Structure 1
Amino acid sequence: MAQLTLVALWCGCSIAYAGETLNVVGPVRALANKSKTIALDQGIKKALVLRFDEKTAFVNAAGTKDILPGENVSVDYQRDGDDLVATRITKMIPNLPEGVQDVPLQEMEALLERPNPEVMIIDARPASKYASGHLPYAVSIPLPVLEQQGSTLLPARKEVQLVFYCGGVSCGLSHKSAQIARSLGYPNVRVFTAGEPGWKKAEHYTIPSAAFISEGNAVLIDLREAKAAAAGHLPGAVNIPLAQLEQWENRFPSTKAAQLVFYGTGEKDVAAAVSTARDWGYSNVTGFPGGIEEWRRAGFQLQGGSTADRIVYRKKLGPNELGPNDFLKGLPEGTILVDVRTPEEFKKERLPNAINIPTEQMAKRFAELPKGKPVLFYCNTGTRAEMAFDVVQGKEYAVKFLNANVEFKEDGSYKVSE
C-alpha cells in the first residue's frame, strides 16, 4: 500500500491525504475563469481556493458560466503538489420542503405587477443584499432573523400566501425559511426558486433601497427633463433625460461592474434606461421606479438646483482594499507587490519588482510573505487578488488587495483603472 502523506489544510475544515479524493461544500465566494480558480466560503474570514481544468466534471451546470457567486456547490478535489484540483463540481439544488411548491417565473411576474395584500414576498438573503437590489414589493427577512423572531415578522392572518426567494436555484435560504413558516402554521407557503438571479436573467431589474442610494456607492441618473430635476432631485444624481441617454454612453464609468440606478417619472422610462445600459455591457443595473415620492416616504430630503454635469464613480472600498487612485498616488515605502496570477501570466508581464504567488498556491505558500511590511496583492481585475486576500485574512500579515483593473501594454507599460 502506498504511503499517505498527512497534510493539514489551512482552513481548518478537514485533513487532506495526498492522492485521496476529498470533498468540500460551501457557497462560491469568487470565480476566475482566466486562471481557472474557484474560492469557497468556509466560515468567517476563511476561504478555500481550488483550481479546475478541462478534466473537471460539472453536475447540474454546463460549466462555470452557470455558477454564480453565492450559490452552493459541492467540490470533489485532489492535491496536486501545491494545488488543490477540482475533479468534479456539483451545483447543489436543494429540495423544496414538504408541502411547499415552486413559483414559476410567469406566475411570479403576475404576482409582482402590483401590490397584493393577500401575498407577502420575502427576501431571505442578508439585509445588505436586499438593500443593493431586491424584487418589487419584497420585504427583507433574512433567514437568521426569521429563526430568532419567527411569526412576529409574518402576517397575523395565517391565510396570507408567503413567497420566499433568495440567491437562485442552489441557494437554500428560501427553502429553510419556507420550512420555518410551515412549522409556524402558515399553510400557503411557496418558493420562487429562480430567485434574484432568475429575475434579472428574465430581463427584469431589481430595486435598491433609499438608504442604500443615500450612501452614494452607485451612479444615480435622473431621467426627467431638466426643469423637473432642477425643482428637486435625489442628492448626487446626474440629470440625463431619457431621450438623450444614448448620447452619454461614452461618459459612463469604464468599469462595467459599477452599479447604476435609474429613476424618472415612471416605470416605463426606468425599464427603457435599464435595457439600454445592459446593452452597453453593464452587469449591475438597477431601477428606483418610486422616484422622488419614494425617496420622501423613506424620510430623505430632495436637493434643488442643477444636478452635476458629469458622472463620477468612485466605489467605496473596504479597509483592506486599495483603489486605482490610491495606487497611483504611491504605495507606502517598503511595500511588497505580490502578483497572484499564474506563473505564465507573471512571466509574460508584471508590475515592477513584483513577486509571484498564484492564488491557488497561497494557502501553501503564505509563509513566504514578510511580516512587518505592507503587502499588496494584485491581478488583472481584482477578483483573484481578493481571493488570495481571503486566504491570509486573519493571519499576522499587513495585506491589502488592489481592487482595480490592471492592463499591461506591449511596450511594457501598464494602466490601472476602475
Structure 2
Amino acid sequence: MRYRKGFFSRALFHYLILLLILFSFTTVLAAEKSIKGQVSAVAVTIQTITVKHGATQINLKWTNDTVFQNIDPKKIREIQGQEIEAKYIEADGKNIATFIRLAIAEIPKGTKEIKTQELAKLIFEKPGSYVLIDARPAGRYRVSHIPTAISLPVAVMEKLGEASLPYAKDTTLIFYCGGITCPLSPKAASLALKWGFKDVRVYLEGEPGWKKAGYYTESTPQYIMTENIVLIDLREPQVVEKTGYIPRAVNVPFSKLDEYEDKFPSYRKAPIVLYGDNKEKLIQAFKKIKEWGYPNVTVYSGGIIDWVFKGNDLKTGPISKEIVYQRKYQPHEVTPQEFLKAVETGSAVIVDVRTPSEFQKGHFKGAINIPADEMGTKYTLLPKDKLIYLHCSTGVRAEMAYITLKEKCPTCNAKVLIAEVECEGEKCTISE
C-alpha cells in the first residue's frame, strides 16, 4: 500500500510538471506575432534588424535559436532593403525573432528569369533587341534606373491595359523592380503574358542586383532639376565655356578628378549625378567616386544633348568650381552642431546607445549609457520632460533605439544623431 501511495504521488507530481510545461509552451505560441515588411536597417553588433511595415517600424533581435530560411546569417547585411516575413515574441522589452525568411517573389509560369550578366550583355552589346521595363513607381525610376530602361509602373499597366505595351507580340520584354523580394516585376510580367506576349522575362535581382555587380545606373532630367543633389560636369573648362552647362552643375574636369577627392561632400550618402561628353570617362569617374565611399552615385549619360532635346535650357557664363552640399535632416534627427551645443550646455540628455565596452573606451562628457538592445527595459531611466539626444558610432543603432523608445514612450522628446562618432576618453569627434 505504501508503494502504491508513493507511486501515485510521483505520478501526480510528473503530471503536474507536464501540465506546467504544456501551459508554458502554449503561452509562448499564443504570444508569437508575425510581421511582413522591408528591412530598413541591420545592426550586426546587437543582432538586430529594423522592419518597416507601412508607417510602422519595429526592431527584431535574432539569437542562436532564431530559425533562418533562405538567409545566411553570416551575410545578413545583404537583406537590407528586401522584404521579409518574420515571427517573434516579446520578452524583456525586446522583440525576439523566432523565424525569419526572405519573401522571395515567384516568377509567373510562362516567363523566363534573366540573370545580371545576361542582361548586361544585352544592354551593352545588343541594345534595341529588347524592351527593358522598370515596374517600380515613377519616383524610384527618376532617382536611379538600369540603363536603357523605360518607366512603366504596374499601376499604369493596370489602368491602361494592353495599350500600355504598344509592341509586337514577339518583342522580348524584360521586367525588373527592387530585388528578389519585390512583387512588381512578376506582376507586370503576368499582365504581359495575359495580353499575349510570347517572350516575357523577369530580372528578379532587380536594381539592387545590378548595383551589387558594380554597374552604373541612370538618373532623369526631372530628378536633376528638382532634388537636393551634387551635379558634376566632367567636361574640360573650354568645352563648358563654349557650349554652356546644365544649371546647378559644378565643373570637375575628368583630367583633374583625383585632385577633387578631398573636396567632395563630407556626407558620404550625398546623391551625386555625373554627366559629360565621353561615355568611357563617365563610367570611369562613376567607379572611382564609388571607390571613394559614395554609394549614391548615378550618371546622366545623355548629357547636354539630351537635356536640350527634352526642352530644357542650358546656362552660360562662369560655372562653379566648388562642390557644395547642404544635407537635409529628417524631423527626428539632430544636427552635429545642435548635438555638440547640447553636450556643452547640458540642454539635452545625451544617451550613448553603444555597448558598455565601447562606452568605457570613450564617450561624450555627461553622457549616459543605455545600450540599444536594452532600451526596451531601461527607457524608464530617461526623463519625459527633457530633450533626449541618442547616438552610437554610425547612427544605425541610435535609430533602432529611437524606434524602441518612441514605442515605449510616445511622449518622450527624443532625436537621433545620424553621423560617425569616434571617442577616446571624453574627446569625441563627429563626421558625416
| TM-score of the superposed pair, with normalisation by structure 2 | 0.81
Structure 1: which 5+ runs fail to align?
7-15
Contact 1:19–1:79 under 8 Å retained in 2: no
Q: What is the DSSP-based 3-state SS (H/G/I as helix, E as strand, rest coil) of the residue aligned with 1:197?
A: helix
Give the 3 Å change call, closer, same or farther, for CA 154–379 of structure 1 in structure 2.
farther
Shift in alpha-carbon separation, 1:292–1:159, aligned structure 2, 3 A: same
Aligned-partner Cα distance in 1 for 2:375–2:295: 29
- In the other structure, the counterpart of 1:33 is 44
Are the counterparts in 1 of residues 49 and 59 from structure 2 also a CA contact under 8 Å?
Answer: yes
1:338/1:301 Cα in 2 relative to 1: closer, same or farther (>3 Å)?
A: farther
The total of aligned residue pairs comes to: 407
Give how far 1:133 is off: 1.0
Q: Mark the CA change 1:305 to 1:327 in structure 2 (over 3 Å): closer, same or farther.
A: farther
Aligned to 1:252: 264
The Cα of 1:347 is off from its aligned counterpart by 4.5
Deviates more, 1:213-222 or 1:92-101: 213-222
CA offsets 1:388-410 (integer angstroms, 9 cap, x no match): 444537944443322222222x2
Show structure 2 runs of 5+ residues with no match: 1-19
C-alpha change, 1:411 and 1:369, in structure 2 (3 Å) is: closer
Q: For residue 109 of structure 1, give the secondary structure of its aligned residue in structure 2.
A: helix
Q: 2:121 is matched with which residue?
A: 110
Q: Which one of the candidate residues 190, 194, 198 is aligned to 1:179?
A: 190
Shift of 1:245: 1.2
**Counterpart check, 1:413 vs 2:397:** no
Aligned match of 2:5: none
| Residue in structure 2 matched with residue 293 of structure 1 by the alignment | 305
Deviation larger for 89-98 or 76-85? 76-85
Q: Which segment is superposed worse, 263-272 or 309-318?
A: 309-318
Partner of 2:199: 188
Match of 2:324 in 1: 312
Answer with 304-313 or 386-395: which moved more: 386-395
Cα distance in 1 for residues equivalent to 2:381 and 2:149: 48
SS of corresponding position for 2:245: coil
Shift of 1:165: 0.8
Matching of residues 1-400 of structure 1 within 5 Å = 1-2=20-21, 4=24, 17=28, 23-44=34-55, 46-53=56-63, 58-62=68-72, 63-65=74-76, 67-113=78-124, 119-155=130-166, 157-231=168-242, 232-328=244-340, 334-362=347-375, 370-371=383-384, 373-391=386-404, 392=406, 395-400=410-415
Structure 1 distance, partners of 2:203, 2:398, is 34
Matches of 1:143 and 1:200, distance apart in 2: 22
1:268 deviation in Å? 1.0
CA deviation vs aligned residue, 1:31-51 (integer Å, no higher than 9, x gap): 12233321111221x112122
Aligned to 1:402: 417
What one-letter code is carried by the residue in structure 2 that aligns with 1:307?
I
Once the two structures are superposed, residues 277-319 of structure 1 have per-residue CA deviations (whole angstroms, 9 ceiling, x without a partner) of: 2232332221111111223344443222333233223222233
Secondary structure, in 3 states, of the residue corresponding to 2:400? helix
Q: Deviations over 1:207-261 (max 9, x none)?
A: 1222222235333221110112234222332222212112222222344333322
Q: Which has the higher helix share?
A: 2
**Inter-partner Cα distance in structure 1 for 2:101 and 2:282:** 37
Asked if 2 retains the 8 angstrom alpha-carbon contact of 1:359 and 1:385, the reply is yes
- Relative to structure 1, the CA distance from residue 235 to residue 353 in structure 2 (aligned partners, 3 Å threshold; closer, same or farther) is farther
CA RMSD of aligned residues (A): 3.4
Counterpart residue number, 2:8: none
SS at match of 1:86: strand
> Over alpha carbons, which structure has the higher Rg?
2
Between the aligned partners of 1:222 and 1:347, the Cα distance in structure 2 is 47
- 1:412 Cα shift? 1.6
Q: Which moved more, 1:68-77 or 1:327-336?
A: 327-336
Q: Percent of counterpart pairs with the same letter? A: 37
Task: Show CA shifts across 1:114-155 (max 9, x none).
Answer: 896674322223433322211112223344454455445433
